Amino acid sequence: MINLEDLIEVDPNISVIIKNDSLKEIKNKILSNCSIRQFSKIVDCSPSFLSNLLNNRIKSCKFIFIQKVTKILNLKPNEIIEKVISRCRLNCFIPIEAFPIKKSPIMANLVGHAFGDGHIGPISFAYSNKNRNLIDDVISNAKKLSVNNVTYNSRYHKATNIQFSKLVRNILILAGSPIGRKTSQILKVPVWIKKGSRKIKKSFIQAIFDDEATVSIGSREIVLGMKKTSEIVNSLVDFFEEIKCMLKEFKIKNVAITNGSDYVKKDGEITKEKRLRICGASNFINFKDKIDFIHPLKIQKLNKLIAISIDSKMKIHRTKIKIVKLLEENKKLSTSILAKKIGLGRRTTADRLRELEKLKVVDRIRVKNKAKPHIWFLDKPKNFNPIV
């Protein structure tokens, strides 16, 4: 939950609009004890400003000022504020009844993008991507936050860049988004996301993979790569371990974390990369069914990767069936003879035999002399299921 007090803590200079009825109440309380001029000295503002505010000629003021006024008049800020606004944009606001703001899958998705191609700056949340689908998705999700009439600016330089108002920025900071340059700070998955529902976890993972992951057909893997300065690069291992833990809930297992490339920037700074790698047909299928991408090219590549992996798996199963049939017919055969009969290389055939050995389908006559080949025979020819 995000309360009004949390929002003020992030941005003490935030502006608010007071309810019309409350303005009258404040004015009456002030005039019952002193003049507008006298009270303006107590709260340290000009008499004209206070007069214009109380007579509704000025629409907004800073929360800090209202805090002073309510403290003196023994009022509660939450009861007199109508809405929290984004700087001078009166039409972009959070209505007071929206507090406390609930943390949701939509918020988790935007936080994931803040960890990816997004950037939390001093006055806004910016997001940059070449793909229009992702840009539209981020805009759509930002509009579903508790901020009414979300405002953003859009420009194009090599990629579309959108900047959202300070209210969106402040909410994302309170939701656990990193502020400023990410390569020089240690990242951690926000606790509310780690302990959240599967929908929340899915939204976060999908966003960060859409921004930072690649789907490689050649190496048959999904790779999430991120960079850090050399001093803190090992912190990425802990961050990836948190993501691995969440991926397990979607039955995506045996995920590897490896070193990536080193990069030298123009200013001479060295950044190092760590990679989280997802391999295997079952993992690809689970990623597709339970998480998936929004990026259309990555969806296309993932579908192709699944098709290739399933085809490859079926070829392996067919090879195992051939090996079992040959051993049924010939009782005992060496690796080399089996390789020739099924038309595969010796190493590939040996791999399939070892897999069948682990399943206790075949066994071998072990010889101490390395020059002599291993002789293979069926261990349990009955009830063999090659798809195991």
Write down all domains in the chain, each with its CATH number in brackets: 13-97 (1.10.260), 206-303 (3.10.28.10), 312-378 (1.10.10.10)
| Predicted local confidence at residue 387, as pLDDT | 46
Structure tokens at 173: 């900071």
Across 230-307, the runs of DSSP E, i.e. the strands, are 256-264, 270-278
Query: Which residues, 6+ apart, have CB-to-CB distance to 361 below 8 Å?
Result: 320, 324, 378, 379, 380, 381, 384
HSE-CB of 122 using CA atoms within 13 angstroms: 1
pLDDT at 197: 94
Q: Per the structure block, which two tokens stand in for 310?
A: 């399933």
What are residue 331's phi and psi, to 5 degrees? 65, -60
Distance CA 310, CA 306 (A): 6
> What spatial distance separates the first Cα and last Cα of the chain, rounded to whole Å?
47
CA-based torsion, 259, 264, 270, 271: positive or negative = negative
**According to the model, what pLDDT value does residue 261 have?**
84
CA distance 252 to 236: 19
Give the phi and the psi of residue 79 in degrees, each rounded to 5: -85, -20
Q: What is the dihedral of CA 81, 85, 88, 92, to 10 degrees?
A: -130
CA–CA separation, 71 and 15 (whole Å): 17
In 10 A of CB 249, how many CB atoms?
12
Query: Which pair of structure tokens corresponds to residue 329?
Result: 């017919």
Question: What does the pLDDT read at residue 369?
Answer: 67
For residue 21, which amino acid is it? D
Mean pLDDT split into 10-residue runs, the chain, 388 residues: 87 87 89 89 90 87 89 88 77 86 94 95 91 93 88 79 90 94 91 95 96 93 92 91 95 92 78 92 94 95 92 87 89 88 90 88 78 77 50
Residue found by looking up tokens 């195991």 in the block: 388
